[in-house]
């Protein structure tokens, strides 16, 4: 049985992430979508909100589980006896950081292989930060996020916007 983790911020999950999740779930027996909590990186959505969004959009993929971790990815990888790290690769901009991260992870845990799935042409320029910006300025995010969470994202960012004014 091959168990993979797909780590990221998912702040919030986009159609690009979901596409990687679906393909990863077809390649491996179990896929854990891992919200990695970085205390130095300010997020717009709490871990609980991000996990709820992910669970909602992955409800129909039986071999996907959502979890979070606040330490090193390789520590989670080891303690949960995982086999593969899945990452998505968008345009060239992702390559440098992801390449470095894959090497560091392998150095820290030699059996941690990273498998890269290329983003499809529809979502190669899509990021969570772009979705947040469009939503905050009242633009239409429906082409970029799963329909099931679209309104929740808009409502939540709208509330934050009003609280900050």
Question: Does the active-site annotation cover 17?
Answer: yes
Among 9, 30, 44, 105, binds ligand ADP (CB under 6 A): 9
Give yes or no for residue 87 binding ligand ADP (CB under 6 A). Answer: yes
Long-range contacts of 145-152 (CB under 8 A, 24+ apart): 145/12, 145/13, 145/14, 145/15, 146/13, 146/15, 146/18, 146/56, 146/57, 148/56, 148/57, 149/12, 149/13, 149/53, 149/56, 149/57, 152/53
94 counts as binding ligand ADP under rule CB under 6 A: yes
CA distance 41 to 121: 28
Active site residue 79: no
Please report whether residue 10 would count as binding ligand ADP according to CB under 6 A: yes
> Please, which residue, 1 or 17, has the CB nearer to ligand ADP?
17
- Whether residue 41 lies in the annotated active site: yes
Return d(Cα 143, Cα 15) in angstroms, integer: 8
> Is 46 one of the annotated active-site residues of the chain?
no
Residue whose CB is less far from ligand ADP, 1 or 154 = 154
For ligand ADP, the nearest residue by Cβ is 16
The one among 18, 51, 69, 119 contacting ligand ADP by CB under 6 A: 119
What are the residue numbers of the active site? 17, 41, 90, 128
Residues lying near ligand ADP in the complex (CB under 6 A):
8-11, 14, 16-17, 20, 87-88, 90, 94, 119, 123, 126-128
């Amino acid at each position: 049985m091959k168990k993979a983790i797909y780590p990221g911020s998912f702040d919030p999950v986009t159609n690009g992430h979901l596409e990687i999740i679906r393909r990863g779930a077809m390649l491996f027996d179990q896929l854990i979508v891992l919200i990695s909590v970085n205390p130095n990186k300010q997020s717009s959505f709490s871990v609980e909100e991000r996990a709820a969004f992910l669970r909602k959009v992955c409800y129909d993929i039986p071999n996907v589980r959502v979890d979070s971790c606040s330490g090193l990815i390789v520590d989670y990888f080891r303690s949960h006896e995982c086999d593969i790290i899945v990452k998505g690769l968008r345009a060239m901009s992702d390559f440098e950081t992801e390449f470095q991260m894959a090497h560091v992870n392998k150095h820290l845990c030699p059996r941690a292989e990273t498998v890269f799935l290329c983003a499809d042409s529809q979502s190669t320029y899509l990021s969570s930060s772009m979705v947040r910006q469009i939503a905050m300025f009242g633009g239409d995010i429906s082409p970029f996020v799963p329909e099931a969470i679209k309104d929740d994202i808009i409502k939540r960012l709208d509330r934050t916007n009003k609280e900050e004014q």
